[in-house]
Homo-oligomer: A and B are copies of this chain.
């Protein structure tokens, strides 16, 4: 069995049956990143951080407005009518070295990141986090390039305000690279964003 360690693309586990047979790999376990969403990567990463006692970061549940619930006898309540609500904060938060950590994660298959994928209240929330001494940022995943950028809140706010005042409605990868950090997809953890946060806010 040969494991080709990840290079941001994919790797295979090849299992040979024996030495003398003209064997081909009989099992192809595909650990490709294809089909995995940013949320999947971040869930894995946050579990890694928790198990290795690096940090405690959780994704908030999706807010849902429940309208109608049935309570069948002897079984769990069944929600029969409900609607998705717009989140009033960012998706992820938690604690790292005592500090409050807060971020939003977005993915796009486009060449540049459309700012309409963020919401104004999320930008406002990031501003507030920074005001209270927390660490806020965005993670933007360009799926076609397998590139993830970590953008500190203050820079994300600048891009947002440029749009508000009539400027570009999107942010290019080059702009993100100049105003944030490229994080390569890894194996364990998948997206080591806290390494970058540690570097930016704790080592300075």
Contacts and interface: CB of A to CB of B under 8 A. Distances in A.
Contact of A60 (B55, B61, B95, B128): B61
Interface stretch (A27-35, A62-70, A143-151, A163-171): A62-70
Interface residues of A, number: 41
Interface in A58-103: 58, 60-64, 66, 76-85, 87-89, 93-102
Contact of A56 (B66, B95, B96, B128): B128
A134 B79 contact: no
A95 B100 contact: yes
A44 to B, nearest CB: 16
A128 B85 CA distance: 30
B61 A82 contact: no
A77 B84 contact: yes
A66 B84 CA distance: 10
A15 to B, nearest CB: 35
A77 B83 contact: yes
A147 B152 CA distance: 42
Interface in A91-127: 93-102, 125
A204 interface: no
A175 interface: no
Nearest to A88: B58
Contacts of A95: 100, 102, 129, 132-134
Interface of A: 50, 53, 55-56, 58, 60-64, 66, 76-85, 87-89, 93-102, 125, 128-129, 131-134
10 contacts: A53-B132, A60-B60, A60-B61, A61-B62, A64-B82, A79-B82, A94-B100, A95-B132, A98-B132, A98-B134
Given A61-B61, A61-B62, A79-B81, 10 more contacts: A58-B88, A78-B82, A79-B84, A80-B81, A82-B82, A94-B100, A95-B133, A98-B100, A98-B132, A98-B133
